[in-house]
A and B are shown apart, each in its own frame.
Chain A
Amino acid sequence: MNAQPIHFKPSEGFRDRAKAVVDNPFLRQSFRGAMDFLMSKRAGQFPDVEELESLRTLGEQIRQYNLGKLPELLVRLEENLTRNGIQVHWAETPDEANEIILGICKRVDAKLMVKGKSMVSEEIELNHAAEAAGIGALESDMGEYIVQLAGEKPSHIIMPAIHKTKEEIAKLFHEKVPGVEYTDNVDALIQIGRKVLREKFLEADIGLSGVNFAIAETGTLCLVENEGNGRMCTTTPPIHVAITGIEKIVEQLSHVPPLLSLLTRSATGQNISTYFNMISSPRKPGEKDGPEEVHLVLLDNGRSQAYADEQLRKTLQCIRCGACMNHCPVYTRIGGHAYGTTYPGPIGKIISPHMLGLEATATMATASSLCGACGEVCPVKIPIPELLMRLREESFSAPHPNPAMRGQGAGYNGLVSFVWRAWATVYRSPMLYGLATWAGSRFSWLMPSSQGPWTTVRTPLKPAPKRLRDMLKERG
């Protein structure tokens, strides 16, 4: 089976998937409650607005500085990792990344891979590829484990199973984990999961993890986590394979603390995560634990396209905290699965087009009121609304040679473009504007009572019988 990263165009059927959630009062309430909780947790971490703003500015500057030197830093990272004994692999596409990882598995005849939480592994659909190659891939992050048991994808980048209630999880464990009685006691459920996973850590041939920050000057991989499963994945099995996007790099160790602080406080409202792992080499002679081999797979998958454009590059500043999702009124209404992309929510809307092409994501940029809540909370100040407008332009403009993005013009519609040109012709001319609005006000009774999507939940729009300019003239 081919490890096709995405099996369908996410923008196709997006409205239907969104509607299904919007029309489900239980899900609506559940997402609202979860997002309210996460928003209040974050707010509790930032009581001092000035401190928050200066930290966000610092975070933005660190990310921009590092992205500005990305090619050079990647070379330095590779040199220093290699010197530390960590093997570096480069993958341009998800298929290449899967091939590299499965190649390592096959070399040692691996039967089981335990995985720490990694969105990049979701991006390349590693679990499917491993399964197709006859290698077991087991998620060890509790949320990811639940989602895997259910045969689903994560609905949130930090809280993969946020769409599930404890009753649903209880039922799932009872049905899917052998010998488990139904219980909806959360502590008991966690203990069940831990027990299953504990044995698998010892059994696994490969431990897979993501990377939150890769430090170029020291050749260190940093991993942020809360459950300890990341540490187990990266130390217990004989081989540790880390995978990350090429943008997750920082030049200096000193760049990490501010980003880490922004990450955990923005994501889960924690001062600091329970675990913070810094991986700088495989097991050294005389050491009692740690993997014998450590690998890093650096994935491009469209990131270099974003990198090449000054404005689009800001997309790569992301440190994957998920705060944009938690604060997004659209995500709150429809949840993560409706998006159909690995990365949902505001960040998903701006990063997915680089991974999948605008053909697959054309209409998704329209699923925003541009309210700006995402940009307001982004810890590294990604101007998400501005980027959404840019993506709309890239998508709806007529196809042209040398576009900045794959799939530019995918949403082009000659009629729509003509309407906007006509609109501009009228609205740039006081005479035509005057005529059109005069007619609108005099013949407002001609306005249809059904005005398409607007009137599905609203009364029809009717111009007032007199325009402001008419009223001013009458007043004299």
Chain B
Amino acid sequence: MSSVQPATPHPTDIYFFATCVVDQFFPGAGMDAITLLERLGIRVHFPEEQTCCGQPAYTSGFPDEARKVAAHQLTLFPNDWPVVVPSGSCAGMMKHHYPTLFAADPARRAQAEALSARIYELTDFLVNLLDWQPQDTGGECTVVLHTSCSARREMGVHLTGRKLLGGLGKVTVAQQDHESECCGFGGTFSIKQPEISGAMVEDKVKALKATGAERVVSADCGCLMNILGHAAWKDAQEGRAQPSLPGEHIASFLLRRTAR
């Protein structure tokens, strides 16, 4: 067998599946991800009819409702382009759970499997399909990276975010205690078991802050909603006017750091 692998064809067009959390709560992160992809020469297509991957219902024990919502998303990506998702969690749902969700529906199952093969989490896409080597244009800065459990354990893309940040010359990536531990979001878990979820996010924010990093970045807005929400709550409790732990989606950070 030849050791020379044919280069992966550089995709020219992609679909962007923003996720409902980004669409409604972190639109800036979505814009930055799109801008970043475009800057790398990609034509980004945003199917206007997209809504949500269906995960909230799926993980809450309502697969029928999840299936209805997922079935709608199956119809949105007719061309054979990669589907890039700025969230390990939603990407994991589409890549790994859609085929199971439609196990009893052969036509949709085939569609789900075909789609599954085209789903990429954003940082995975940037590193492994585009082989992007970011050129840092910013000053000295220390950040801490939080990787979602889905990105880490379901998608196995916990190294790509780190690789991208590691490629930024003047950025130091701090190492937090218990890095691989869940932040305590877990969708409806945070509502149904607020005491446990609250304890988890409290510990997570403490560990992130203890690194002394200027900001936290993450490729998942669900985690950010939880982590930043708790950090801001704590700031308010303790009467701080300035956020003690600012944070943003990794796409926003990368876009700014590589601005020409």
Q: Does B193 contact A (CB under 8 A)?
A: yes
Task: Report how far A420 CA is from B63 CA in the complex, Å.
Answer: 10
* A468 contact set on B, CB distance < 8 A: 18, 22-23, 27, 30-31, 46
The answer to whether A420 and B46 touch (CB under 8 A), given A22-B199, A463-B24, is no
User: Which residues from 346 to 369 on chain A have a C-beta closer than 8 Å to any C-beta of chain B?
Assistant: 363, 365-369
Given contacts A430-B49, A453-B191, contact A330 B65 (CB under 8 A): no
- Are B54 and A369 touching (Cβ within 8 A)? no
Taking CB atoms and an 8 Å cut-off, the chain B residues in 45-95 that contact chain A are 46, 48-52, 54, 56-66, 68-69, 71-72
Is A42's CB within 8 Å of the partner chain B? no
- Segment touching B, from A49-57, A128-136, A221-229, A392-400: A392-400
Could you tell me the distance between the alpha carbons of A433 and B28 in the complex, rounded to whole angstroms? 20
Q: Tell me the bound Cα distance from A424 to B184 in angstroms.
A: 25
Instruction: With A423-B57, A468-B22 as known contacts, state yes or no: A368 contacts B189, CB within 8 Å.
Output: yes
* Assembled-state Cα–Cα distance A427/B50 (Å): 9
Q: In the complex, what distance in Å separates the CA atom of A421 from the CA atom of B66?
A: 10
The count of A-to-B residue pairs whose CB atoms sit within 8 angstroms is: 185
Question: A467 CA to B63 CA in the complex, in Å?
Answer: 27
Near A by CB (< 8 A), chain B positions 155-177 give none
Complex contact A458–B201 (CB within 8 A): yes
Taking each of B46, B62, B226, B233, which has the highest tally of chain A beta carbons within 10 Å of its own beta carbon? Answer: B62
User: Judging by beta carbons under 8 Å apart, are A469 and B46 in contact?
Assistant: yes
Interface range, B side: 35 or more
Residue from the list A366, A371, A420, A462 in contact with B57, Cβ < 8 A = A420
From A370, A437, A466, B189 is in contact (CB under 8 Å) with A370
**Contact for A427 among B27, B48, B69, CB less than 8 A:** B69
Find chain A residues with CB under 8 A from B195 CB: 15, 18-19, 22
Contact between B61 and A397, CB atoms less than 8 A apart: yes
A366, B24: Cα distance in complex, Å: 26
Interface string of A9-26 (1 = CB under 8 A from B): 000000100110010000
Q: Which residues of A contact B244 (CB under 8 A)?
A: none
Contact A453 B190 (CB under 8 A): yes
Find chain B residues with CB under 8 A from A329 CB.
Answer: 181-182, 184, 200
Fill in one digit per residue for A203-247: 1 if any B CB lies within 8 Å of its CB, else 0.
000000000000000000000000000000000000000000000
Docked CA distance A462–B202 (Å):
21
In the assembled complex, the Cα of A19 lies from the Cα of B198 at a distance in Å of: 10
Asked if A372 contacts B229 (CB within 8 A), the reply is no
Give chain A residues whose Cβ lies under 8 Å from the Cβ of B49: 430
B-contact 0/1 string along A429-447, CB 8 Å cutoff: 1100100010011000000
List B contacts of A334 (CB < 8 A).
Answer: 196
Q: Is B217 an interface residue (CB 8 A)?
A: no
Given known A424-B69, A437-B23, contact A393–B149 (CB-CB < 8 A): no
Asked if residues B189 and A467 are in contact (CB atoms below 8 Å), the reply is no
A–B pairs, 21, beta carbons within 8 Å: A15-B195, A18-B193, A329-B200, A330-B196, A330-B200, A333-B199, A334-B196, A365-B61, A366-B193, A369-B187, A371-B153, A391-B61, A393-B61, A420-B57, A423-B65, A428-B51, A454-B190, A457-B233, A463-B25, A464-B27, A471-B27
The interface of chain B, by Cβ under 8 A from chain A, is 18, 20, 22-28, 30-31, 34, 46, 48-52, 54, 56-66, 68-69, 71-72, 149-150, 152-154, 180-182, 184-202, 225-226, 229-230, 232-233, 236
Known contacts A370-B187, A459-B232; 12 further A-B pairs (Cβ under 8 A): A18-B196, A330-B193, A369-B186, A372-B150, A375-B153, A423-B56, A427-B51, A428-B72, A430-B48, A453-B192, A457-B201, A470-B27
